[in-house]
Amino acid sequence: MRREIVSPEGFRQDGRRPEELRRSHFRTSLFQQVDGSAYVEQGNTQCLVTVSGPREPQMRSKSLPDRAVVTVEYAVAPFSAGERKGPLRTNRAHTEVAASLQATFEAAIMTTLFPRSEIMICVQMVQLDGSALATAINAVSLAIIDAGIPVTDYVTACSAGYIGSDPVLDLNYLEESAGMPQLTLALLPRTRKIVTMAMEQKLHLDHLEPTAEMCEEGCLQMYQQMNAYIASASKLATLITPSA
Partner 1 sequence: MLHNHVFLRKTKKGSVAKIVKEHYLRTDIACGSKACTTCTPCKRANLAEALPPFPGSQVGEYIVPDTNVLFHHLDVIEHPSISNLVILQTVLEELRHRSFQCFQRVRRLIDDPDRHFYVFSNDFHAETYVPEPAATASTTAVAESPNDRNDRAIRRAVQWYNAHLAALHLGAVLVTNDVANRQLAVNDGIPALSLRDFVQKLPGSVPLLDMLGAAGDDPTAPSSKDAVADASRLATVYPEHAAPASIQAGIATGVYQMGTLHISPHNFQEATLLADVNKQRVEVLISGRMDLNRAMDGDVVAFQLFPKEQWKSIVSKVQEQEDDDEAVGSDADAVDDDDDDDDDDDAAADANASASSESLLMPTARVVGIVKRNWRPLCGTLEAPPGFKQHVDAAREHVIDPIQSAFFWPIDKRMPKVRVRTRQLRHLLGQRIVVALDAWPQNSRYPTGHFVRVLGAVGDRAAESEALLLEHDIAHAPFNARVLACLPHQGDRWTVDVDTIDKPDRVDLRHLAICSIDPPGCTDIDDALHARPLPNGNIEAGVHIADVSYFVKPDTPMDIEASQRCTSVYLVDKRIDMLPTLLGTNLCSLRSNVDRLAFSCVWEMTPAGEVVSTRFHKSMIRSQASFTYDEAQARINDTSMNDTLSTNVRLLNQLAKALRKRRIAAGAVTLASPEVKFRLDDKEQQDPVDVEMKELMESNQLVEEFMLLANIHVARKIQQAFPDAAMLRCHPAPPSNRFDALIRAVGQRGFPMVVDTSKHLSDSLDAIQLPEDPYFNKLVRIMTTRCMQQAAYICAGSVNPSGYWHYGLATDIYTHFTSPIRRYADLIVHRMLHAAILRDGQLARDRMKRLADVLNVRHRNAQMASRASIVLFTNLFFRNKPATEEAYILRVLKNAVIVLIPKYGIENAVVLPKASLAKCDFDEKDIAITWPADAASQTRAGKLALFQKIKVHIEIVHQGPEAAQRLQLQLTLVDPPLPAA
The verdict on 7 binding partner 1 (CB under 8 A) reads yes
Stretch that binds partner 1, among 15-23, 32-40, 48-56, 185-193 (CB under 8 A): 15-23
Stretch that binds partner 1, among 18-26, 100-108, 138-146, 207-215 (CB under 8 A): 18-26
Chain-centroid distance, C-alpha 113:
24
User: Residues 59-98: x/- map of binding to partner 1 (CB under 8 A)?
Assistant: -----------------------xxx--------------
- CB nearer partner 1, residue 104 or residue 172: 172
CB of 171 to partner 1, least distance (A): 12
The one among 18, 22, 104, 143 contacting partner 1 by CB under 8 A: 22
User: Residues 195-214: x/- map of binding to partner 1 (CB under 8 A)?
Assistant: -------x------------
The DSSP string of the chain is ----SB-TTS-BTTS--TTPPPPEEEEE---SSSSEEEEEEETTEEEEEEEEEEE--SSGGG--SSSPEEEEEEEE-TTTTTT---S--SHHHHHHHHHHHHHHHHHHB-GGGSTT-EEEEEEEEEE-SS-HHHHHHHHHHHHHHHTT--BSS--EEEEEEEETTEEEES--HHHHTTT--EEEEEEETTTTEEEEEEEES---HHHHHHHHHHHHHHHHHHHHHHHHHHHHHHHHHHHHSPP-
CB of 208 to partner 1, least distance (A): 16
Q: Is residue 64 classed exposed, middle or buried when 0-12, 13-18 and 19+ CB atoms within 10 A define those classes? A: middle
CB of 48 to partner 1, least distance (A): 18
The verdict on 175 binding partner 1 (CB under 8 A) reads no
DSSP bridge partners of 70: 119
The verdict on 27 binding partner 1 (CB under 8 A) reads no
User: Residues 148-167: x/- map of binding to partner 1 (CB under 8 A)?
Assistant: ---------------xx---
The one among 29, 44, 63, 117 contacting partner 1 by CB under 8 A: 44
CB of 49 to partner 1, least distance (A): 22
**Residues of the shown chain interacting with partner 1 in the complex, contacts defined by CB under 8 A:** 1-3, 7-9, 11, 14-16, 20, 22-23, 43-44, 82-84, 129, 163-164, 172, 174, 179, 202
